Amino acid sequence: MKDVEDGRALEALLEHLRGSRGFDFTGYKRSSLARRVSKRLQMLNLQGYGDYLEYLETRPGEFTNLFNTILINVSSFFRDSAAWEYLRAEILPELLAAKAEAEPIRVWSAGCAGGQEAYSLAMTLAEVLGADAFCQRVKIYATDIDEDAVTQARQGSYSAQDLEPVPPDLRDRYFERAAARHVFRKELRQAIIFGNLNLVQDAPISRLDLLVCRNTLMYFNLETQRQVLARFHFALNDAGFLFLGRAEMLLMHTSVFTPVNLKHRVFVKTAKIDLRDRLMILAQTGDHEAGNRVSREVRLRELAVDGIPVAQVVVDTSDAIVLANEQARVRFGLSAADVGRPFREVELCYRPVELRPLIEQAVAERRPVGMANVERPGPNAQARYYDVQVAPLLDDGGPALGVAITFTDVSRYAQLHEELERSNAELETAYEELQSTNEELQTTNEELQSTVEELETTNEELQSSNEEMETMNEELQSTNQELQTTNDQLHGRTDELNRANVFLESIVASMQSGVVVLDANLAVQIWNRKAEDLWGLRADEVRGQNFLNLDIGLPVEQLRTPLRECVAGNSGPHELRLEARNRRGKAFRCPVVCFPLAAPDNQPHGVILLMEEGG
């Protein structure tokens, strides 16, 4: 129940972000979003998404914090180095081989974070092409939804630690030192264009040869992944390549891309018939002058009728032959000269079947009539069989203008029919045997089917846990970086504290008077060197003990009242002279001053005692 409510509250939060800020996170995976938003809740000590929504509404600045928490900018140079090596050694040579010598090369790093991926692409392409050709031919578009990340990427400036994954020779060739930083070389940097682009909402960069979108799709849910992939399909040239991140396998659910190498997540567009393009080409041909078009149309009709694979003769209502197609001419000895002759004068009118009654019936009943399997002796005394059909040609529902007589050669089917009957008997027996084999197969098949389904489910689960783990890994990395910073700050503070302590101790130790500091319970906190010298007890023997219980040469009992007053804070310094005996047993009058130990809030937190040997 709590989960359902949380789910609803999270959706309400996402709707608010979309409505008020125009940022649509509804296409992101809920598991990851829930973790990231909860991180903000923890930091702000809020109880639920509802509280957080109210917080957001009253503090517009919080939106930036949430945005930065949701968008994980973790990246590194040559991330998954084996895949980059495959790109360099196998894909880029193939890509370049398909291009003319000076032809431009267009690349897109989509979801570029701090720019490491775009600069890795630049180094790889410059290595393959040479620096000059790289500058002349290559354009790398690098985009991200996160403006801060894009601003950082534009600077191309990285720490030595950031550059660790870059091989030293590449680092020396492509980066210049600037104080403690390394900056990407200016001439090559000009080939990279950084920009702010939302993959879910904005139009993609187009005419691409290589599209690199790594570890970004995995934050989206399936539906959004599918939409983004459709855009990528449009964006890529037909021979272009798509390079995804290690955990991104969900292409299985779409048919628009085909793997080139599944292990390294490189894909190409699936070839498909582009009907629209074909129609456009058709629309651009012909249509130069009307006459040409009409005569071409007539010729086309003739060719179309001639191309019909059955014999056809058209006879008008005055019994004149209007048309005899090629099959009719070849099979029934008609010629072009027969067109216009009365149909009753040609043999076909009577053989293989008397057609005049059929023609009269079709015209009278205004529907096709026919006869099946009409036999006609062929050239080698081999009989041929025809299905004859006589169809009235009705002009828009008006009177019949004539009839179309078609002769469909069914000899092959008749022959087949005979053979079929023979085979049928044999089949009958075989069928029964098959039947039982089939049943066995069916059972095996069903078992296989369920095994395959189980495997598919396991695979999907593995896939999504893999993505989940990858996401959590990135989150951990970012938390780790934050912890590192906190740790560094703590170290600094500890150093400062140590220095202050040493300083304080040296002041107390250097005092020529015995200095004793007590807490509010009169337990000894500080016992300096002079006090040790006076009373013969070491600091570690008295620390934490009640001062009034100490067995020293000073009559401490006489100090009870002044000490209590100091602790109560209603008394200023008390000066006393007490009969004392030092550690060597020598009696002397000991001047003692005690006054309250005041904290910054001016409240007494203890007592300071000063004791002299002289006097």
Ligand X SMILES: C[S@@+](CC[C@H](N)C(=O)[O-])C[C@H]1O[C@@H](n2cnc3c(N)ncnc32)[C@H](O)[C@@H]1O
User: Where does this chain touch ligand X (CB under 6 A) — which range of 157-165, 197-205, 509-517, 594-602?
Assistant: 197-205
26 or 545: CB nearest ligand X = 26
195 or 591: CB nearest ligand X = 195
Tell me: does residue 225 bind ligand X (CB under 6 A): no
The answer to whether residues 362 and 369 touch, using CB atoms and an 8 Å cutoff, is: yes
Rounded Cα distance between 183 and 166, Å, is: 13
Work out how close the CB of 470 gets to ligand X at its nearest, in angstroms, rounded to a whole number: 9
The answer to whether residues 390 and 370 touch, using CB atoms and an 8 Å cutoff, is: yes
Side-chain-side CA neighbours of residue 249 (13 Å)? 15
Contacts of 516 (CB under 8 A, 6+ apart): 524, 526, 527, 528, 531, 547, 608, 609, 611
111 or 562: CB nearest ligand X = 111
Work out how close the CB of 168 gets to ligand X at its nearest, in angstroms, rounded to a whole number: 21
User: 196, 203, 214, 121: which is closest to 154 by C-alpha?
Assistant: 196
Q: In 3-state terms, what secondary structure has residue 572?
A: coil
Contacts of 428 (CB under 8 A, 6+ apart): none
Residue of 149, 191, 313, 597 that binds ligand X (CB under 6 A): 149
Containing 132, the helix (H) or strand (E) segment is helix 131-137
Tokens of 21: 């800020």
Tokens of 108: 């897109």
Work out how close the CB of 61 gets to ligand X at its nearest, in angstroms, rounded to a whole number: 19
Rounded Cα distance between 225 and 248, Å, is: 10
Work out how close the CB of 466 gets to ligand X at its nearest, in angstroms, rounded to a whole number: 15
Tell me: does residue 117 bind ligand X (CB under 6 A): yes
216 or 406: CB nearest ligand X = 216
Tell me: does residue 216 bind ligand X (CB under 6 A): yes
Work out how close the CB of 32 gets to ligand X at its nearest, in angstroms, rounded to a whole number: 11
Contacts of 328 (CB under 8 A, 6+ apart): 311, 312, 313, 334, 348, 407
Task: Please classify residue 408 by burial: count the beta carbons closer than 10 Å to its beta carbon, then call 0-12 exposed, 13-18 middle and 19+ buried.
Answer: middle
Rounded Cα distance between 546 and 425, Å, is: 117
Tell me: does residue 145 bind ligand X (CB under 6 A): yes
User: Where does this chain touch ligand X (CB under 6 A) — which range of 52-60, 192-200, 305-313, 563-571?
Assistant: 192-200
User: Where does this chain touch ligand X (CB under 6 A) — which range of 73-81, 91-99, 171-179, 285-293?
Assistant: 73-81
Work out how close the CB of 216 gets to ligand X at its nearest, in angstroms, rounded to a whole number: 4
Rounded Cα distance between 332 and 512, Å, is: 141
Tell me: does residue 467 bind ligand X (CB under 6 A): no
Q: How big is the CA angle at 361 (ends 359 and 366), to the nearest 5 degrees?
A: 95
Tell me: does residue 111 bind ligand X (CB under 6 A): yes
Peptide bond into 352 cis (omega under 30): yes
Residue of 190, 198, 444, 458 that binds ligand X (CB under 6 A): 198
Q: Give Rg (Cα) of the chain.
A: 48
Within residues 243-282, the interface with ligand X by CB under 6 A covers: 245
79 or 154: CB nearest ligand X = 79
CB atoms within 10 A of CB 142: 27
CB atoms within 10 A of CB 577: 11
Residue of 115, 142, 146, 235 that binds ligand X (CB under 6 A): 146
- Residue 234: what residue type? F
Rounded Cα distance between 26 and 213, Å, is: 20
Tell me: does residue 75 bind ligand X (CB under 6 A): yes
CB atoms within 10 A of CB 222: 13
245 or 514: CB nearest ligand X = 245
Rounded Cα distance between 179 and 169, Å, is: 20
Residue of 37, 56, 66, 71 that binds ligand X (CB under 6 A): 71
User: Where does this chain touch ligand X (CB under 6 A) — which range of 94-102, 214-222, 276-284, 504-512?
Assistant: 214-222
Tell me: does residue 209 bind ligand X (CB under 6 A): no
Q: How big is the CA angle at 197 (ends 193 and 201), to the nearest 5 degrees?
A: 155
Rounded Cα distance between 249 and 608, Å, is: 72
Residue of 113, 138, 358, 531 that binds ligand X (CB under 6 A): 113
Residue of 16, 39, 79, 171 that binds ligand X (CB under 6 A): 79
Task: Please classify residue 197 by burial: count the beta carbons closer than 10 Å to its beta carbon, then call 0-12 exposed, 13-18 middle and 19+ buried.
Answer: buried
User: 76, 20, 25: which is closest to 53 by C-alpha?
Assistant: 20
Residue of 13, 17, 66, 72 that binds ligand X (CB under 6 A): 72
218 or 359: CB nearest ligand X = 218
Work out how close the CB of 226 gets to ligand X at its nearest, in angstroms, rounded to a whole number: 14
Work out how close the CB of 30 gets to ligand X at its nearest, in angstroms, rounded to a whole number: 15
Work out how close the CB of 10 gets to ligand X at its nearest, in angstroms, rounded to a whole number: 17
User: Where does this chain touch ligand X (CB under 6 A) — which range of 34-42, 141-149, 371-379, 508-516?
Assistant: 141-149
Q: Mask 8-37, x = binds ligand X (CB under 6 A)? A: ------------------------------
Work out how close the CB of 150 gets to ligand X at its nearest, in angstroms, rounded to a whole number: 9
Q: Which alpha helices (H) appear in 190-263, and where do they start and end?
A: 222-235
Give the strand order in the sheet containing 587-598: 524-527, 514-519, 604-611, 587-598, 574-581
User: Where does this chain touch ligand X (CB under 6 A) — which range of 71-79, 89-97, 367-375, 401-409?
Assistant: 71-79
The answer to whether residues 351 and 376 touch, using CB atoms and an 8 Å cutoff, is: yes
Residue of 392, 474, 556, 594 that binds ligand X (CB under 6 A): 474
Contacts with ligand X: how many residues (CB under 6 A)? Answer: 23
User: Where does this chain touch ligand X (CB under 6 A) — which range of 209-217, 499-507, 510-518, 526-534?
Assistant: 209-217
Tell me: does residue 73 bind ligand X (CB under 6 A): yes
30 or 99: CB nearest ligand X = 30
Residue of 214, 231, 233, 265 that binds ligand X (CB under 6 A): 214
User: Where does this chain touch ligand X (CB under 6 A) — which range of 211-219, 329-337, 506-514, 598-606?
Assistant: 211-219
188 or 211: CB nearest ligand X = 211
Query: Torsion angle, CA of 556/558/564/565, rounded to 10 degrees?
Result: -140
Place of tokens 């957001």: 56
User: Where does this chain touch ligand X (CB under 6 A) — which range of 195-203, 267-275, 315-323, 602-610?
Assistant: 195-203
User: Where does this chain touch ligand X (CB under 6 A) — which range of 3-11, 111-119, 298-306, 307-315?
Assistant: 111-119
117 or 209: CB nearest ligand X = 117
What residues line the site for ligand X (CB under 6 A)? 71-75, 79, 111-113, 117, 144-146, 149, 198-200, 214-216, 219, 245, 474
